[in-house]
């Protein structure tokens, strides 16, 4: 068993716990209709475009390759060339790692850019009246990211996932990091009624419970196999 497969197995309880905790957090946030309506409208506006606007594919490829490039810069790796086309693209660099390979699958690039633009503008102008529009744009771009990422993960295995360490490790990491990023995004959008401390406690408790259950199940299976060997060996 490779180290990445082992790592994927180890983090899987944390991944499942984070996914469930984030789903619960999201439903709780969206239930506050007055505050979440712009976010819902933005997400709803993107959904039909995903299926009926082919140009969205180009913008996904652009975000995908720029996320690779951003992760490479953060990692201190030199970028030689960026190529983007409607049907695919690539970033030529002198080295890579799992963070760079998986970056496009958990970084909501356009939502991050929208947040950075809003934060920068807030230094110069009063942006409070425009917050609903920013929230709507964030919903639009989060839907863009999540729908494309879901489409990729449920399709043929991408070379990025293989390079990062294989399907199990990559899938576990992508789901985990998307869950954490979405929870953080919700905290930034709805700062007054989301507690990251409570969220972290829920994730940690859930991961411990799942790990305990898996350990108990594995122990039971091992004991059952040992018992079967004894009887079959007679």
The pLDDT score that the predictor gives to residue 229 is 66
pLDDT of residue 225: 67
pLDDT at 226: 64
Question: How many other CB atoms are there within 10 angstroms of residue 60's CB atom?
Answer: 21
Tens-digit pLDDT profile for residues 124-168: 888 888 899 999 999 999 999 999 999 888 877 778 888 887 888
pLDDT at 174: 93
pTM: 0.87
Which residues of the chain carry a pLDDT beneath 70? Answer: 1, 225-234
Residue 72: predicted pLDDT: 93
């Amino acid at each position: 068993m490779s180290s990445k497969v082992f790592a994927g197995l180890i983090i899987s309880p944390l991944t499942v716990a984070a996914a469930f905790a984030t789903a619960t957090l999201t439903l709780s946030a969206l239930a506050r209709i007055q505050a979440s309506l712009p976010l819902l409208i933005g997400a709803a506006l993107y959904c039909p475009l995903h299926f009926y606007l082919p140009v969205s594919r180009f913008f996904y490829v652009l975000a995908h390759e720029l996320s690779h490039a951003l992760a490479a810069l953060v990692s201190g790796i030199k970028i030689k060339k960026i190529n983007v086309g409607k049907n695919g693209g690539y970033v030529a660099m002198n080295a890579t790692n799992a963070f760079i390979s998986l970056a496009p699958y958990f970084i909501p690039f356009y939502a991050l850019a929208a947040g950075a633009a809003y934060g920068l503008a807030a230094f110069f102008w009063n942006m409070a009246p425009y917050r609903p529009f920013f929230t709507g744009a964030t919903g639009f771009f989060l839907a863009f990211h999540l729908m494309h990422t879901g489409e990729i993960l449920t399709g043929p295995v991408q070379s990025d996932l293989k390079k990062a360490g294989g399907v199990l490790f990559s899938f576990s990491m992508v789901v985990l990091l998307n869950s954490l990023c979405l929870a953080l995004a919700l905290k930034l959008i709805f700062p007054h009624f989301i507690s990251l401390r409570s969220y972290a406690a829920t994730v940690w408790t859930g991961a411990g419970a799942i790990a305990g259950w898996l350990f108990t199940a594995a122990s039971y299976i091992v004991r059952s196999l040992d018992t079967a060997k004894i009887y079959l060996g007679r």
